[in-house]
A = this chain, B = another copy of it.
């Protein structure tokens, strides 16, 4: 049972965002480079402190919107990292979130100004503290999400081909999905609308563009990917 609040030791609480984006056929992570010791030159996730008057969700959202200029971000709690010695600078409890953002649409100047950079998930630089583990767990969580719901709305451009969507899933699960079976499965969900436009950059025949139906079709709890 909780005893009197006054005699309890308070803790510093931070959030760290694992920010996923998709660009040039690659799943990427938004990272900052440390300019001071310790771990100078190493990279870190997009973190910040939690203010007294906000929830950890508010904090994570505030940090990310002010960095990217985007609103309406998809974010989800991942896990709390709280080993007493996880941060050499002092005892900090960190709540990790992951976010999905559209690299095309975010404010590049703002991100550049803060010195942030996009890194391919399968070719990350050394990360500080336990941030490597955080990214790992976040990717696992994203896989869970992508196996239940169709992700892509937040990562792909508004109009995309099934090949692009499949490649995104290839990146997330780090495996090659069979083109025929993937399209059959995805279309059976009835969540996409085919446009009368084609992308002819990848093939002579051309691949139809699709959009997500604007209704909340994401709401299927059915399983998409078995993993």
Number of this chain's copies in the assembly equals: 2
- Residues of B within 8 Å of A11, CB to CB, are 10-13, 50, 52
A10 touches B12 (CB 8 A): yes
Q: Does A188 contact B (CB under 8 A)?
A: no
Q: Does A14 contact B (CB under 8 A)?
A: yes
A52-B84, A55-B84, A84-B53 known; A12 vs B1 contact (CB < 8 Å): no
> What 0/1 pattern do residues 43 to 83 of A give for CB contact below 8 A with B?
01001111111111100000000000000000001011011
- Residues of B within 8 Å of A227, CB to CB, are 221
- Residues of B within 8 Å of A226, CB to CB, are 223
Cβ-closest chain B residue relative to A77: B79
A79-B77, A221-B227 known; A49 vs B84 contact (CB < 8 Å): no
B14 touches A13 (CB 8 A): no
B5 touches A89 (CB 8 A): yes
Cβ-closest chain B residue relative to A116: B1
A55 touches B83 (CB 8 A): yes
Q: Does A30 contact B (CB under 8 A)?
A: no
Q: Does A162 contact B (CB under 8 A)?
A: no
Cβ-closest chain B residue relative to A48: B2
- Residues of B within 8 Å of A10, CB to CB, are 10-13
Whole-angstrom distance from the CB of A40 to the nearest CB of chain B? 13
In-complex Cβ contact of A5 among B8, B12, B57 (8 A): B12
A1-B32, A79-B77, A92-B5 known; A84 vs B54 contact (CB < 8 Å): yes
Q: Does A3 contact B (CB under 8 A)?
A: yes
> What 0/1 pattern do residues 113 to 156 of A give for CB contact below 8 A with B?
01000000000000000000000000000000000000000000
Q: Does A202 contact B (CB under 8 A)?
A: no
- Residues of B within 8 Å of A56, CB to CB, are 80, 82, 93
- Residues of B within 8 Å of A198, CB to CB, are none
Q: Does A9 contact B (CB under 8 A)?
A: yes
6 A–B contact pairs at CB < 8 A? A2-B48, A9-B51, A52-B84, A56-B80, A80-B80, A221-B227
Known A-B contacts: A5-B12, A77-B79. Give 4 more (CB < 8 A): A1-B44, A52-B91, A82-B95, A221-B227
